[in-house]
Amino acid sequence: MSAALLSVERVSKRFGGLVANDAISLDVAEGSLTAVIGPNGAGKTTFFNIISGALPPTAGRIQLAGQDITGLSLQQVAQRGLVRTFQLVQLFGNMTVRENVEVGLHMVTRGTLGAALLRPRWMAAQERWVRDEADTLLGFVGLGAFAQTQADQLPYGRQRLLEVARALAAKPRLLLLDEPAAGLDTQESAALADIIQQVNARGTTVLLIEHDMSLVMRIATHVAVLDFGRKIAEGSPAEMRAHPDVLAAYLGGVEEAHA
Amino acid sequence: MLGVGLLGFVMLNGGYLVTVLGLAAIYGVFCTGLNLFMGYTGQASFGQSAFAAVGGYGTAILCAGHGWDPVAGLVVSMAIAGLLALVVGYPVMRLRGHYLAMATFALGLIVYELSVEWSGLTQGYMGYAGIPPLGFAGHELGTERAQLGALVAIMLFGVWLAERMKSSRFGRALRAIAGSEPAAMALGIPVSRYKLAAFVVAAVYASAAGSLFAHFIGFISPEVFGVPMVVLSFTMLYLGGIGTIWGPVMGAVIASLLPELFRGLKEMQDIAYSVVLILMLIFVPGGLAGLLRRLARKPT
């Protein structure tokens, strides 16, 4: 296994008396497709929010490519190459599908107010590149035909795909996907799994949180399981499927949910 | 087309409509700036009148008090307003939603009080009179029509600049903030810095509008830059279509002309005006610009 791109060391998060994350450690290998799974309330989203800078941890340390990113803001973490999506789709609904991806290109382009007003020659070239790049990414996720559609007019499943395309535009070293298949039907979920696998195959390290076990088992190269705020197991998908603690946590959780 | 026709008609006929359209052009500048902050960036400011006051008083003091050239007075006032927005905005832009609205509202009130109380500088309640008309390098624009022409040209220039800002990486970042702040942050956009930039740009536009008002009317007082100015500019934004390039200007023209249309109704004028405003907000929610866009999109 190659070196860890993301290294999380004993991260904890307390909300008052509630321990949402209890000393969780996780290494995400460069080039891997790592999944964090666990029943509802296991602390997955909190863990994700801490890694991505949306929440500061109570204790612990996070390193990205050897750089300490603990306590940095969402935007600072993004600037260091870790880009995330959201469990509740956060599109720019007021903009077209293409413009959404163009915003994703913010970090890999330049020029602010001065360039907007003065329009130096390089900016026209950059704008052309931005448009082409956005269209390429839209083509990749199969949204090429919707470039001009206003983002909030897209059907839900396609909104999910757009969020992935937009995050990819930022050329992340590590792509964090927060329950990307939530609310998708089987077919949409399979299409998304395909895309995630292709993204990974092209060299982007992916860390995803997912509730949908079948998706994770099919595409993940490495799986960590959380339950009640702790990491209870870690290994290959096959190992996790057979792990007694995982089965107990998952099946127990399901049974409780049905009770 | 309609705008050109209207302008041509008024230019030929003259009269008080020249004044009405001149004020509409000034408000067009003010609203175009405010639209960048409220429409595109999706933030609320109830205190833009403060920056118009900086422009108005800056021009009055520099041009009427110290005999400066109008263009120099305009530019220096804009710089001061921009600087003020930068200093005030730096802490204030960390606030969101209602808190941002309250803080900016307070700014408007503070500047209003200052313009009343600091009478050594502003001549207080009585207002500042004797401000020369627009002009450059010693040549005054003698007639009201010439001034209207200049105001419309400046307004169009302002709209042109706004369009440049909008259709760029800068503008996309602003609109992204309006769409979803967390998503904008997650894509590495420095959200507070962009909000501050939009706030400063809006303040510079507001200051220019204040200066132009001072030149056009020749007199300013604290009342000119009070809360009614904020309310009127909001009306214009929503009437014309917030978050569109031409909406603010269309709103400014319509909201300025409507009361004139109903002048014959005498005491019913205000009521008719209000009824039309409410009907438009209900039935044309995207504003006039939104309506025109829908009509243009519809086949045949």
Q: List the single residue in B164, B173, B178 with the smallest CB-CB distance to A117.
A: B164
Q: CB count, 10 Å around CB of B259?
A: 14
Q: A223, A213 in Cβ contact below 8 A?
A: no
- For A249, residues 6+ apart whose C-beta sits below 8 A from its C-beta are A38, A39, A42, A225, A227, A232
CB pairs under 8 A between A and B: 107
CB contact under 8 A, B179 and A54: no
Taking CB atoms and an 8 Å cutoff, what residues of chain B touch A91? 179-180, 183
Q: List the single residue in B164, B173, B178 with the smallest CB-CB distance to A106.
A: B173
Q: How many helices (H) and strands (E) does chain B have?
A: 14, 2
Q: What is the pLDDT along chain A (259 residues), one digit of tens a residue?
A: 457 899 999 999 999 888 888 899 999 999 999 999 988 888 889 999 999 999 999 999 999 999 999 999 999 999 999 999 998 889 999 899 999 999 999 999 998 888 888 888 899 999 999 999 999 999 999 999 999 999 999 999 899 999 999 999 999 999 999 999 888 888 889 999 999 999 999 999 999 998 778 888 889 999 999 988 889 989 998 888 888 888 888 766 544 444 3
DSSP three-state, residue B135: strand
- For A6, residues 6+ apart whose C-beta sits below 8 A from its C-beta are A26, A27, A28, A51, A62, A63, A64, A82, A174, A205, A207
C-alpha A193/C-alpha A189 separation (Å) is 6
Given the DSSP bridges, would you call strands A33-37 and A205-209 parallel, antiparallel or unpaired? parallel
Q: What is the DSSP string of chain A?
A: ---EEEEEEEEEEEETTEEEEEEEEEEEETT-EEEEE-STTSSHHHHHHHHHTSS--SEEEEEETTEE-TT--HHHHHHTTEEE--SS----TTSBHHHHHHHHGGGGS---HHHHHH--HHHHHHHHHHHHHHHHHHHHHT-GGGTTSBGGGS-HHHHHHHHHHHHHHT--SEEEEESTTTT--HHHHHHHHHHHHHHHHTT-EEEEE-S-HHHHHHH-SEEEEEETTEEEEEE-HHHHHH-HHHHHHHHHHHHHHH-
CB contact under 8 A, A54 and B164: no
Q: A196, A33 in Cβ contact below 8 A?
A: yes
Taking CB atoms and an 8 Å cutoff, what residues of chain B touch A111? 168-170
CB < 8 Å from B in window 172-211 of A: none
Which pLDDT value is given to residue B137? 66
Rg (CA), chain B: 19
Given the DSSP bridges, would you call strands A205-209 and A174-178 parallel, antiparallel or unpaired? parallel
> Average pLDDT, whole number, for chain B?
86
Cα dihedral sign, B69-B84-B166-B290: negative
- Report the residue of A100, A109, A113 to disrupt the B interface, i.e. the one with the largest count of B CBs within 10 Å: A113
Q: Which residues pair with A28 in a beta bridge?
A: A6
Taking CB atoms and an 8 Å cutoff, what residues of chain A touch B94? none
Which pLDDT value is given to residue B129? 78
3-state helix, strand, coil in chain B (%, to 5): 80, 0, 20
Q: Which residues of A84-102 are buried (b: 16+ CB within 10 A; e: fewer)?
A: bbbbebbbbbbbbbbbbbb
Phi and psi at residue B39, to the nearest 5°:
-75, -55
C-alpha A219/C-alpha B215 separation (Å) is 69
Q: A89, A83 in Cβ contact below 8 A?
A: no
DSSP three-state, residue B68: coil
Q: In what helix (H) or strand (E) does residue B2 lie, and over which residues does it extend?
A: helix B2-13
C-alpha B148/C-alpha B145 separation (Å) is 5
CB contact under 8 A, A103 and B189: yes
Cα dihedral sign, B89-B90-B95-B97: positive
Residues of chain B with pLDDT > 90, as a percent, come to: 38
Q: Which residue of chain B has the CA closest to A55?
A: B182
Highest mean pLDDT among A169-178, B6-15, B42-51: A169-178
Q: B265, B280 in Cβ contact below 8 A?
A: no
* C-alpha pair distances (Å), B286 with each of B113, B179, B272: 35, 17, 21
Taking CB atoms and an 8 Å cutoff, what residues of chain B touch A94? 175, 178-179, 243
Taking CB atoms and an 8 Å cutoff, what residues of chain A touch B182? 54, 74, 86, 90
For residue A194 the two structure tokens come to 């395909």
CB < 8 Å from B in window 120-149 of A: 123, 126-127, 130
Given the DSSP bridges, would you call strands A33-37 and A59-64 parallel, antiparallel or unpaired? unpaired
ipTM of predicted assembly, 2 dp = 0.89
Amino acid at B77: S
Q: Using CA atoms of B179, B185, B187, B190 in order, give the dihedral in degrees to the nearest 10.
A: 110
Model confidence at B300, in pLDDT bands (50, 70, 90)?
very low
Q: Is the pLDDT of residue B111 over 90?
A: no
CB < 8 Å from A in window 179-208 of B: 179-180, 182-191, 197, 201
pLDDT, average across residues B127-151? 79
Q: List the single residue in A107, A119, A123 with the smallest CB-CB distance to B187.
A: A107
For residue A111 the two structure tokens come to 């020029």
Q: Does A103 touch chain B (CB under 8 A)?
A: yes
Which pLDDT value is given to residue B2? 65
Taking CB atoms and an 8 Å cutoff, what residues of chain A touch B188? 75, 78-79, 83, 106-107, 170
Q: In what helix (H) or strand (E) does residue B140 lie, and over which residues does it extend?
A: strand B139-140
Q: Which residue of chain A has the CA closest to B189?
A: A75
CB contact under 8 A, B173 and A103: yes
* C-alpha pair distances (Å), A87 with each of A51, A186, A228, B37, B146: 15, 18, 20, 29, 58
- pLDDT tens digit sequence for B219-257: 888 888 888 888 889 989 998 888 899 999 999 998 888
CB contact under 8 A, B189 and A75: yes
